[in-house]
Amino acid sequence: MPNTKQASSRCATVLGVALLMASAAAPVQAEVIAHDTFAGSETDVAENLCGIDLVRDTTFSGSFRTRVDKASDGQAFFQHTNFEFTDTWTNPLNGKSMTFEGHSLNNEIKATQVAGDVYEFTSIEAGQPFTVRDAAGRVVLRDRGMIRHRVVFDTLGDSEPGGVTLEHSILAVSGPHPGLEGSEDEFCAMVTELVG
């Protein structure tokens, strides 16, 4: 949903940077070329969320495995990533806070050549990718289950992980994902109630 993705876009960016080092899946014709772990944190970052000036403290960590699909002549790379993050948002004017957190596994399971260096990837995201907790730690919103994604990706033909996303769509959703289904107005109403 645009609202939870907007709210955690910084975490998605952090994950994206980590994934530039990664890409993995499980086809028999794939060969592991890299694997590692990553972690980091940020503190006292001023941001505006739903029109409210907040301060964000973040921790994130995970691991990745990169595989090259031999059937792609070394152009398609699969990613397999375990990722978790915690963002604590605090309103400096009233001291109210909330926490966004996520724990998920992302696994690209198939790559099909569209044309030239452009491939269509199918990936699965499983776990609890987005949870909101109030200051007392009570769950206010939680997405959990599995999402199947379709991504059309230009590999750039350089035999290196990374490239340009051309299209992205969700193929299927399993399990409750209220954050994915809600509107931006509903999301901002929740934020305002928790920290406004």
Tens digit of each residue's pLDDT (9 = 90 or more) over 152-171: 999 999 999 989 999 999 99
Between the alpha carbon of residue 113 and those of residues 55, 73, 160, 171, 185, the distances in Å are 44, 11, 16, 18, 39
The answer to whether the beta carbons of residues 180 and 172 sit under 8 Å apart is: no
pLDDT of residue 71: 85
Tell me the per-residue pLDDT of 23-75, one tens digit each, with 9 for 90 and over: 333 444 668 889 999 999 999 999 999 999 999 999 999 999 999 988 888 89
What stretch of H or E contains 92?
Answer: none
Query: Other CB atoms closer than 10 Å to residue 114's CB: what's the count?
Result: 14
126 against 15, higher pLDDT:
126
Model confidence band, residue 11 (pLDDT cutoffs 50, 70, 90): very low
Nearest to 117 by CA among 54, 64, 74, 66: 74
Identify how many contiguous H helices and E strands the chain contains and give both numbers: 4, 7
Tell me the per-residue pLDDT of 83-131, one tens digit each, with 9 for 90 and over: 999 999 999 999 999 999 999 999 999 999 999 999 999 999 999 999 9
pLDDT(19) > 90: no
pLDDT(8) > 50: no
pLDDT(196) > 90: yes
- How far apart CA 31 and CA 24 sit, in angstroms, is 9
pLDDT of residue 13: 39
Per-domain boundaries in the chain? 2-195
pLDDT of residue 194: 98
- How far apart CA 170 and CA 181 sit, in angstroms, is 12
> Could you tell me the two tokens for 151?
């991504």
Question: Under DSSP, is residue 12 helix (H, G, I), strand (E, B) or coil?
Answer: helix
pLDDT of residue 31: 84
